[in-house]
Amino acid sequence: MTDFNEIDIWPLVNVFFSSLNGMRAEHKQERDSYTLTENKSSEFKFDYFSGRHAILEIDKPGGVGMSNVYAYLDMTLTWLSGRMVEIEVEEGKRIKFMADKSEQVYGLYFFGDGNSCEVPEGIEQTVCKIGQSDCCIFLIAGAGGFGCAKFSSLARTFLDNLAKGSMRASRIGNCAILGRKERQKVA
């Protein structure tokens, strides 16, 4: 059985989303945070229907475009899983989820065009703890060596499997994404 503290933030998010419904707003996703803010000059209006959708949609005649707030928030919270997280809320104005800057975490880089992170040699032992009882759930192995799936489309599946108790690995790693790098070419 997994031993971790679980806090249900849905009531807080639902109250904020309800207070922002119908207002002009904008959002911003960064590597360590997600912010949804009321902004009277935004061309997007926040449309919220609890349990169904939370979107920002263009609010002008003939305007086309939307952004799925649930998708961005889910992605950010997945990236922040295992980390200490701060939540700031100003009802009807702003909600922000961000990593606690005081926490020391290992950082990884995306490589190439995709969202795969290469785990440098030796880190699978010291940080990911392969073969140990507290191995990170996001550690994956492939032909090119070890990788981290925390920042890929597989991450949600790994978290769901952990919650169901269907994984041997037991720890949600607190690693952070540092950005993107190109692989060094060997001459």
Query: pLDDT per position in the chain (187 positions), as tens?
Result: 444 567 889 999 999 999 999 999 999 999 999 999 999 999 999 999 998 999 999 987 777 889 999 999 999 999 999 999 999 999 889 999 999 999 999 999 987 666 779 999 999 999 999 999 999 999 999 888 899 999 999 999 999 999 999 999 999 999 999 998 876 665 5
* Residue-range domain boundaries for the chain: 10-99, 107-181
Spatial neighbors of 117 by CB under 8 A, at least 6 apart, are: 108, 109, 110, 111, 147, 148, 149, 150, 151, 152, 177
